[in-house]
Chains A and B, each alone.
Chain A
Amino acid sequence: MSAYTLQKMIREVNRRPDRREAYFASRETFAQAYELTPEERAAFVAFDVCKLYALGVHGLILRPFTLLHKMPEPEYLTAIRKDP
């Protein structure tokens, strides 16, 4: 399944307050617990929304994730409509 673990990990940030806190404390440390491809890990740690979308993160996982970052909608849409 494309981006299976990546999506599962981001969903945990969206859903679980304790995981959210760990994520905002350190993305790098948070991501160490998950088996990601180097490309996925780099996009996640960089909060590269364009790349995360291109890697296959579902919009209903990615947009709530960006809302936790208070990313305005136009900025989100610009990011996912770009070529990575």
Chain B
Amino acid sequence: MPLVFAAAASHAPGITAWPDAPPAEQRDAVRAALGAMRDELSAARVDALIMLSSEHWANFFLDHIGAFCVGRGAGFAGPIEPWLNIEKAVVPGDPALATSLVEAAYAGGVEPSYAYELEFDHGTMLPLHFLTPAMDVPVVPVIFNTLAFPQPTAARCFAFGRIIGDVARRSPQRIGIVATGGMSHDPGERNHGTIDSAFDRRFLDAMSKGDNATLTALSAADFTAAGAGAFELLSWIALRGALGPATGRVLGYEAATAWATGVGFMTFDAAKAA
């Protein structure tokens, strides 16, 4: 079965927590981008989504940090944040798909951790709130360590993404992959509110074209310069690894100072992924 849907979306919590904080045209542009993404997803008729997202101290602490974690549970409750303005729900999982992903990764030389119990925070719930508001599409979460040093390298994330793409294509189900996070931002830190639009636009351009050399060459210093939250783009790079030659479209980009984040939204021609 071909991969039937692929997208990348920022998950800035302000999109739902403080929806009216930015100028109306900026808020509306973000909603339009997410609406267009939802329309593409609906047309793709996915059976399950693999969600590549970031850790925000929701599931892991410094007592145990791994580079990647695959959720193998039958369901995941979220959001954990009472201030997110998203109703609590239990999102169904897909344990069989998750197991095939873990096994393929180990066979392919990448060893993610896995967990039967994970909770969802804004990193997963915010995109789902717009894409599958009934919370009825099974999700296999893949959580990336994007906040505790050292993070996995861009090249390693890309390699893991290749495996994820292969699993999706081998599945008997219609699979979509959604990467969430980024773009430039420095959440909760002294440079909170600083957005590097030039970095974001270069990144979107490389994602669109599949300029994998540029993406995999990004270093920890490059991400740090764009704000600690820019490490969340590692999940986007993994998505690019899953996509082969498929090209992408930018549905929207906003330097949303009221949400302290450069927010970007893309979909990809998943049927051409190989």
* A58 & B147 in contact (Cβ 8 Å cutoff): yes
Compute how far the CA of A64 lies from the CA of B61 in the bound complex, rounded to whole angstroms: 15
A77 adjacent to B83 (CB under 8 Å): no
Chain B's interface: helix, strand, loop or mixed, by majority?
loop
Residues 34-76 (chain A) with a chain B CB within 8 angstroms: 58-64, 67-68, 73, 76
Q: Once the chains are docked, how many angstroms separate the CA of A68 from the CA of B17?
A: 13
Residues of A within 8 Å of B, CB-based: how many? 22
* Contact A64–B62 (Cβ < 8 Å): no
- Which one of B57, B80, B82, B83 has the greatest number of beta carbons of chain A within 10 Å? B57
Contact residues of B between 30 and 81, Cβ < 8 Å to A: 56-58, 61-63, 80-81
Q: Which residues of B contact A1 (CB under 8 A)?
A: 62
Which of A4, A7, A64, A76 has a CB less than 8 Å from the CB of B81? A64
Q: Are A15 and B190 in contact (CB under 8 A)?
A: no
CB-CB under 8 A from A58, the residues of chain B are 57, 147, 188
Chain A residues within 8 Å of B226, by CB: none
Interface residue B20 (Cβ < 8 Å from any Cβ of A):
no
> Which residues of A are at the interface with B, using a C-beta cutoff of 8 A?
1, 4, 7-8, 11, 14-15, 17, 58-64, 67-68, 73, 76-77, 80-81
> Nearest Cβ in chain B — how far from A4, in angstroms?
6
By size class, the interface of chain B is 20 to 34
Q: Which residue of B lies closest to A63 (CB)?
A: B188
| CB-CB under 8 A for A77 and B193, given A1-B62, A68-B82 | yes
Interface readout for B145-157 with A: 1 if CB under 8 Å, 0 if not?
0010000000000
What is the bound-complex CA distance between A17 and B80, given in angstroms? 9
Q: Does B188 lie within 8 Å of A62, measured CB to CB?
A: yes
Contact, CB under 8 Å: A63 / B62: no
Q: How far is the CB of A56 from chain B (nearest CB, A)?
A: 11
Contact of A63 (CB < 8 Å), options: B58, B82, B147, B187: B187
| Least CB separation from B147: chain A residue | A60
For residue B228, CB closer than 8 A to chain A, the reply is yes
Known contacts A1-B62, A81-B190; A60/B80 CB under 8 A: no
Q: Is the CB of A60 within 8 A of B62?
A: no
B80 touches A59 (CB 8 A): no
A7 vs B188: C-alpha distance when bound (angstroms): 14
New A-B contacts (20) at CB < 8 Å, excluding given A7-B61, A14-B57: A1-B62, A4-B62, A7-B62, A8-B62, A14-B80, A14-B81, A58-B147, A59-B186, A59-B188, A59-B192, A60-B187, A63-B188, A63-B192, A64-B81, A64-B83, A64-B188, A68-B82, A68-B83, A73-B192, A77-B193
Give me the 10 closest cross-chain CB pairs, A-B, nearest first: A59-B188, A63-B188, A59-B189, A67-B83, A60-B188, A60-B56, A11-B57, A61-B57, A15-B80, A81-B190
